[in-house]
Amino acid sequence: MWMGIDLGTQSVRAVLASDRGKILGSGSAPLGGRRDGVRHEQLPEHWWTAVCAATRQALREGPAPRALAICSTSGTVLLTDRTGRPLTPALMYDDGRAGAEAARAGTPPTWALPKVMWLLGEYGGGGDGVRVAHQADLVLARLAGHPLPTDSSHALKTGYVLEEDAWPHARFAGLGLPEGLFPEVVRPGGRIGEVGRAAAEETGIPAGTPLVAGMTDGCAAQIASGALTVGSWNAVLGTTLVLKGVTDAPVADRTGVVYNHRAPDGSWLPGGASGAGGGALTAAFPEADPARLDALAAGLGPSDVVAYPLVARGERFPFLAPDATGFLLGEPASDAEHWAALLTGVGLVERLCLDYLDLLGAPLHGPLTFTGGAVRSDHWNRLRADILGRTVHLPHHSEPALGMAVLAVYGAGAADTVQEAAGRMVRLRQTLHPDPARTARHLQPYRTLVDELERRGWLPATVAAHARTRTEHP
């Protein structure tokens, strides 16, 4: 039995999976946070409370795991003391307050490195007792009873250089960041510790259970999707949208909106995270019944309303625009039309992301899978496939927590490669083929959105031109 834990934005999820991918136990617990404009914080202690609740629930339904791994949101960071005790709130993946620090660091403001600089300036510190910790690091430290190495996937947005497998300490020195601030780094999939007795009492996970270095949530979902061959891509749609693929070499992007993780086997996992996603539906319809609105939206004909469904201020992929905000072109005649416009808008952004990857020369010839909370909507799955004009595969279990259970198999030595472990544990439940007529119907709304994003100065002209070309020669 293998456990995966996903530290998400709104909840913690734990699953217990068999060697053949059957979910034998699961648990979840909600998370809250503080959002105010570009500010987005969570209290690290809440993560631990939620982990304890989720793992105990999962273990009530199944036997104890042989090993576990943890994923968390990319770019979420905090400062701790040398024992792993939090010294600051956690700045979440989309917190955008570190704009000035990002300009100095040469990164997007939502990356972890400028947030570390902001935290040091806001809360003080930087002495020998202060350490950087990512979201998963904090929970792993509580599980083991002491800090453990971080993994290179979570460390990427904190400035870790994957090509050299090293922190760039000379660069950090120029930013006023001491070497001792940053943790030891290992590649994902390595065994880094074991559950201690104190944590065992709180979580129900037996003491001595091996802890395996994890990855960020987007990478975890990619593992759970089985998209692990060169040219394959996985789209994770939940609160926001994340796309990740597999390549032989890093995908170069001078704007920095596409970044490259490193897989346990040494291949590369390029991708990016858009601020558009399902969170826009929740914001517009906080009390909605999604199934009812899906049914109403599915019965509507073509609409002139075009939406850019950005969840919060600022966009990170497929373009960088800190001042970008969501918008509607046209006035919806009903809630159903508004809902349909938001669903469609996410699909249009998703298409723009893939077109940008094509512009960068990324291979897109492999299978495309959908994962994330949005796959619960059959209507949205088919709509997105039609907008993209691509065949789409839906895994039977599509959650990042399962991806971490797969990684735990590899980390415990029960599979020679992650691909082998995924081959045993990942099963497809459905394949969707696009309707060419419906795909053609979405081309004009796509061009309208591209034109408007360019007109507002957010989408670079070269990207807009390539996207238009792709509507002529998809």
Judge whether 366 and 233 are in contact, CB under 8 Å: yes
Would you give the distance in Å from CA 340 to the centre of its chain? 24
CA nearest to 406, candidates 218, 271, 212: 212
Domains and CATH numbers, the chain: 2-214 (3.30.420.40), 218-472 (3.30.420.40)
Sign of the torsion angle spanned by Cα atoms 332, 381, 8, 228:
negative
pLDDT averaged per 10 residues, the chain (length 474): 95 95 95 91 97 96 91 96 95 94 93 97 80 98 98 97 95 94 96 98 98 94 91 92 94 92 92 94 94 95 92 93 96 96 98 98 96 92 97 90 96 94 93 96 97 98 97 74
pTM for this prediction: 0.83
Judge whether 277 and 291 are in contact, CB under 8 Å: no
- Using DSSP, state whether 168 is helix, strand or coil: coil
Strand partners of residue 207 = none
Structure tokens at 236: 């994770």
For residue 42, CA distances in Å to 9, 10, 108, 148 come to 9, 10, 20, 21
Answer whether the bond into residue 65 is a cis peptide, omega within 30°: no
Give the tens place of pLDDT for each residue, 323-378: 999 999 999 999 999 999 999 999 999 999 999 999 999 999 999 999 888 999 99
State the first-to-last Cα distance of the chain, in angstroms, to the nearest integer: 44
- Using DSSP, state whether 50 is helix, strand or coil: helix
Tell me which H or E stretch contains 90: strand 90-91
Q: Tokens 């989720």 label which residue?
A: 54
Give start and end residues of each alpha helix (H) in 333-435. Answer: 335-359, 378-388, 400-411, 418-425
Amino acid of residue 426: V
CA nearest to 365, candidates 232, 241, 247, 243: 232
Furthest-apart CA pair in the chain: how many Å? 63
Give the tens place of pLDDT for each residue, 37-85: 899 999 999 999 999 999 999 999 778 999 999 999 999 999 999 999 9
Three state DSSP letters for 446-473: HHHHHHHHHHCCCCCHHHHHHHHHHHHC
pLDDT for 12 equals 97
Cα–Cα distance measured from residue 227 to residue 422, given in angstroms and rounded to the nearest whole number: 9
- Using DSSP, state whether 26 is helix, strand or coil: strand
DSSP 95-160: ----HHHHHHHTS-TTSHHHHHHHHHHHH---STTEEEEEHHHHHHHHHHTS---EEHHHHGGGT-
Judge whether 210 and 66 are in contact, CB under 8 Å: yes
Amino acid of residue 90: A
pLDDT for 20 equals 93
Structure tokens at 27: 């648990």
Cα–Cα distance measured from residue 370 to residue 385, given in angstroms and rounded to the nearest whole number: 9
